[in-house]
Homo-oligomer: A and B are copies of this chain.
Amino acid sequence: MGEVKLIGSYTSLFCTRVEWALKLKGVQYEYVEDDVFNKSPLLLQHNPVHKKVPVLVHDGRPIAESLVILQYIDETWSGNTLLPQDSYDRAMAHFWAKFADEKCVMGSFMAAWKDGEEKEKAIESAQESFAFLEKLIEGKKYFSGEDEIGYLDLALGWIPLCLDIVEEVGGMKLVDAEKFPSLLEWARNFAEIPLIKERFPPRDALANYFHKIVGLKRSKK
């Protein structure tokens, strides 16, 4: 199926979901680590629009945007289907993945670097968004609704990967055991899958990185 290269960064939760997908599909690929603070000519050549990782390069043709890449991987390589077979369920998976990236990922980072009253509002808003995910996962093992993880589980995999680090860096709690029991149970189940766990980046390195970007955001305010 041709040459596959992934330009990524171990600090990027958007890259990790792509790596999980490639591993689930059993795709052989070359991984190229990029430096977020000193972007390589390779990255700028392959993603001149956003200049961001991840970029999947398949037979010399680049694809950016992690959710677009996940769908491409699912449609290109057979085995371990990621998106649901039913078109309504597929639409729901796309809807919730977009929602989580826009409201939960961005909401958590916003809450981490804000201060005072703005921080309180950002925390409340992020928690309202997480509450939709809690409701969605109630009574299910995985977001796929199946016995195996799927597209939406991968898209939400940043929660066990780094939400607690973002909370620590931001000096706040967003998702606690009392209000989010099902979401946290899902996170534990997901993180125990060997293929998922083995691609978790070193915790200290990730914490250092988040401290750095939250600091940069704060200094720009």
Contacts and interface: CB of A to CB of B under 8 A. Distances in A.
Interface stretch (A85-93, A116-124, A172-180): A85-93
* Count of this chain's copies in the oligomeric assembly: 2
A132 to B, nearest CB: 6
Contact of A63 (B65, B71, B88): B88
Interface of A is mostly: helix
Contact of A95 (B68, B91, B94, B99): B68
B87 A75 contact: yes
Contacts of A88: 58, 61, 63, 72
Interface in A16-75: 49-50, 58, 61, 63-65, 68-69, 71-72, 75
A63 B91 contact: yes
Question: Which interface residue of A63, A64, A87, A99 has the most chain B CB atoms within 10 A?
Answer: A87
B76 A94 contact: no
B94 A64 contact: no
A188 interface: no
A76 B88 CA distance: 9
Contact of A49 (B64, B91, B99): B99
